[in-house]
Each structure stands twice: as structure tokens, then as C-alpha cells.
Structure 1
Amino acid sequence: MAIDLIFFNDGILVFDVEHWIELRKTYRIIGEIIGNTAFVPSLPLKINPEEVLLLLDKGIVNVLRITSASSDPTVSQQKLMHFENELLQSQATEYKKSRRIQLESMLDKIVAKRRETGDTRSPEEILNEEIEKSTIVTKSNMIWPISLKPFNFSQFVSEPVNMEEVSKFSTKLKKLVYKDLWEKQYYITQGDKFGGDFLVYLGDPICHHAIFIVRCVESEQKISPSEIVAFGRLGTSVRKKAVLASLLDDKVSYVTINWIDA
């Protein structure tokens, strides 16, 4: 049975822990945990566009968009609004708990600064003000939803999201490079933090360090010698091979940059 993924706010999410385990252990899909409860990572898992496109191509998943909270149009909007408000409140509560722990560790310094400006309120009053002004969660920036339990989406009305719509968030080159690396049995994650498009691992990133930083270069894209040198140096500095990936006659071609000290 295909796994249902939920399309929300231009992201594609997994809410069921069993689905997360299956995607990681069976299909080498890593994604990115974006939930957080008192500093403990939790679902949902956000799946990158290239991962989703591969899963759709293999028939492993369905991507669904929640369109309403009920098949009855007279109550659907109210139910959806109530549902979103509950999510918003729960996230604001968790965020305030986390923020309180952070601010309590530096409360003496905060109070001292306030005393310099003539603020004579109690430390608790100052703490509460700091928490309130630094924990604003709105529907535009909340994570939808944070939950430690599997979420039942059968109560909602949904519609399928096709591959063409998902493709808007990636490129043909990135899609094909990811697929090629995946079919070579590698584990792949996003490579932004190392100046590339993908990080490539021999095994699960929990146990292995990345061996390649892959940067996708379009056929019409110009890349200067200085950029190549900088990318090669970067790879050497973090003990990974720097790799440029392009399409040659619609097939993925790789160039590895080796840095040799003369």
C-alpha cells in the first residue's frame, strides 16, 4: 500500500512514525525532521522535492493536499479553522516552555540590563515580558502540525497532488542526479550547508560521514576556474570529494575535483 504524504505550505510532510521508519530503512529517504518538543526532535518529517519525485516515480507514495475539514461545505471551514487554532495554541505553548528554559539561564543578566534603564519590576515580570515578545507564533510561520502521535487524516477531504506540481520545486538536473545516486545505493541529503546540492553517504548518516559534496551544474551554466578551485578546496577542508554533476545527452555525468598540494 502506498504511503500518504501531506502537501502543506509548499512542503511535503510525513506525520506517521511507521511511515517515517519505512521510508528511511527500506527506501533510504532521509528528509528533515522539523518538529520540536522541548528540544526533542519530533515529527513531522519534511521530504525534499527530489526525494518525493523519486518516490512518486517508483509508486511508493501518494501526495495529498487537504482541501477541507469535512465533506459538508457548511461546516468544513469552521472545523478547519478550529483545527488550525488548536494547532497554533499547542505550538505557542511548547515554544514558550522552551523559550522560558533558555531565558531563565540568563535571567540575571537580563534583569541587570533592565535595572540600568530604571526598570524596577520583579525578575518574574521581566521574564514573562521577554517570553511573550519573543515567542510569537502565527499561522504563517507555524509548523503544521507538531504531534507525537500518528495523525488521522481520514477525517479530512483531500485531493491528489501530481508529479508536475511537485516538479516546480526542483529541476530536471537535480531530479536525475538524485535518482542516479539513489539507484547506486547511496544515502543522500541536502548539501546546502557545504555549498553543494547534495551530500552523499555510503550508509545511513546517523552512522556515516558524507563522502561526496555534489553540486549540480546546468549545461548552459558558466562556472569560472576560481569557483572550481574554491569548491575543490572546500571539499578538501571538510574531508569530502567535491563533485560537479551535469547532463550529457540526458545522462548524468560527474567530474570529481581532486586537490593536490604541489
Structure 2
Amino acid sequence: MKFTQNSIFKVFLKQPFVTNLENMIELDYCHGGIFVFDADDWATLRKTHRILGTLIGNTNVVQTLPLKLLPEEVLLLIDKGIAKVVDRKFVDTPEVTKKYEEFENGLLAHEKVVYKNNRKRQLEVMIDAIVAAKRKRGDDRSSEEILNEELEKSCTVTKENMIWPTFLTPLSNSGICVDVYREVILQNTSDLKYSIYRDLWEKGYYITTGHKFGADFLVYLGDPIAYHAIFVVHCVHDPDKAIHSTEIVAFGRLATAVKKRAVLASLNSEKQVSYITINWIDA
């Protein structure tokens, strides 16, 4: 193994991007998470500011909005004056409750019709085999009766298992908005992780979460749509504390196996970000 400090991060260095928008992007705070519902805001964050987040909607074909942001991404957007976080307070009045129930009941009724029609088409393909099996057990009912029975048995849609659509606007009362300050966001991360994220972002990189590799961040030279990650970054909270050799070996091997550089990142005594790369060299 070979350790090299900082040198690898001298490539692809760009000037920090700072902007002041008259109308800042509004990010929505909901149950501790920060979300983007507007497609134009999502495009601006990705194309202009290199903020990626994670699409959490799903059409069973492709992922869709809303976009959930990392707390480090949110803190950066706040500090750069690009966005602010708002909590759209839901006011549970009788009128709001009635409107919500009407929407839910209408959605449920529509889903029942759609699901029943889809299921009927599926059963019609299999009905001959189903009827033949029933006949062997002495069931002399008509094919139509058996089809309707099977249809009723497999078409139970309730409020507990119904599918809710993906929304492009928050499902809440937008009449009352409360600003959410950076101290609230910081509760879900640490000064260390944010400092490292910000330093990488200001160097021009694209950054996503590294959880699938047991790390803090994955770092890309360009948009992950077109580029593979080049660094797997693990944040070291106490650089003076010894790291067991097996941890370093495991981290280095994992990064090498997925063709990426393993990077240990920490803050030095001057509160500056310091990097150590682990290069795996076969003897």
C-alpha cells in the first residue's frame, strides 16, 4: 500500500461557484428530510450547481421526483445563498380534512377500477386452465361465474394498500411557511462531513452518498449520468486516533475492487481539510 497526501485532489481544480439569486430555490422540509418537488428546481440544482440528491419517486420504470437531498447538500445551498428551506405547516381544519378525504376516496375509487380491469385481462388469459382445474374438483359453474369469483378474490384495494401518486408539489397547506435554519439541518450530519463535502464541491467535483460502499461520499469528475466515481471517501472524525490496519486494508481492497481510489478525509489542527489516498499495489 502507498499513501499520498492531497496530491490527487490537485486535479480538476475549479474556482468556487458563488451566486446570489433574487429568488432563492425553496426546499421543502418534511419529517426531518429535505425534498425538491419542482422539476425546474431539480434541473437547476443538477446542471448549474452540481447538487445531485436522490430521486425517491418510482414509476416502476424510472425513478422520478421528489428529490431527497443530503444534509451536506442543503447546508451548502444555504451557505451559498442558492436556496432556503421551508416547512409548509399543515393546518388541520375541517375544510382541509374534508378536501383530503375527498381526494383520497376519489383516488381509491379510481385505483379499484384500473386494478380490476388490469386483473381481468390477466385472468382472461388463464381462465381456461382455471376452469379445467375447477371441473376436476366438481365445480360446474360457468366460466363467467368462475372468472368473476377469481376477480373479486384478487381485487381488494383498500386505503392501507393503495398506491399514492408521485407529487410535483408538497401535499400540504402552502399558506403557512416557516423558514428552517441551518442549525436544524446540521443535526443530521456533522461539521466534519459538511466541511469535507463543501471542500470537494468547491474543487469542482460531483458528490453523492457513499453508503453503498460503506463510506461517506462517492466523488465524480463529472455528472454520474456519464461518469463513474473515482474516489470513495471516508471521513475520519479523530485523525489522532489510531486506525486498525485491518480497517485500512478492507477499505483499500473494497475501493480497488470497484476500480476507485480509497480516500481518508479529516480536518487538521487548523480546521483545513486533509486527504490521504490509499493506493493498492500488488507485490
* TM-score, length basis structure 1: 0.76
Question: Contact 1:8–1:65 at 8 Å: present in 2 too?
Answer: yes
Instruction: Give the aligned partner of residue 162 of structure 1.
Output: 181
Task: State the distance in 1 between where 2:257 and 2:235 align.
Answer: 20
Which amino acid in structure 2 is aligned with residue 156 of structure 1?
A: G
Alignment CA distance shift 1:253-1:203 (3 Å): same
> What do the CA deviations read for 1:142-200 (whole angstroms, capped 9, x no partner)?
98x722x5569784211000000000000111100100000000000001001111000
Q: Does residue 260 of the first structure (1) align with residue 281 of the second (2)?
A: yes
Q: Tell me, what secondary structure is at the counterpart of 1:128?
A: coil
How far has the Cα of 1:76 moved from its partner? 3.8
Task: State the distance in 2 between where 1:3 and 1:239 align.
Answer: 36
Question: Contact 1:200–1:214 at 8 Å: present in 2 too?
Answer: yes
Alignment CA distance shift 1:155-1:65 (3 Å): closer
Q: Does residue 40 of the first structure (1) align with residue 62 of the second (2)?
A: yes
Question: Contact 1:68–1:77 at 8 Å: present in 2 too?
Answer: no
After superposition, residues 41-190 of structure 1 pair within 5 angstroms as 41-69=63-91, 76=93, 78-79=95-96, 82-83=99-100, 86=103, 90=107, 93=111, 123-128=150-155, 136=161, 146-147=166-167, 149=168, 155-190=174-209
**What is the percentage of aligned positions where both structures have the same residue?**
43
Alignment CA distance shift 1:2-1:260 (3 Å): same
Instruction: Give the aligned partner of residue 72 of structure 1.
Output: none
Aligned with 2:251 (options 231, 241, 245): 231
Instruction: Give the aligned partner of residue 20 of structure 2.
Output: none
Task: State the distance in 2 between where 1:36 and 1:88 align.
Answer: 22
Q: Does residue 248 of the first structure (1) align with residue 250 of the second (2)?
A: no
Query: How many residue pairs align between the two structures?
Result: 236
User: More relative contact order in 1 or in 2 (CA 8 Å, sep 6+)?
Assistant: 2
Instruction: Give the aligned partner of residue 15 of structure 1.
Output: 37
Aligned with 1:25 (options 34, 39, 47): 47
5+ long unaligned stretches in structure 1: 70-74
Q: Tell me, what secondary structure is at the counterpart of 2:185?
A: helix
* TM-score, length basis structure 2: 0.71
Q: Tell me, what secondary structure is at the counterpart of 1:44?
A: strand
Q: CA RMSD in A?
A: 3.6
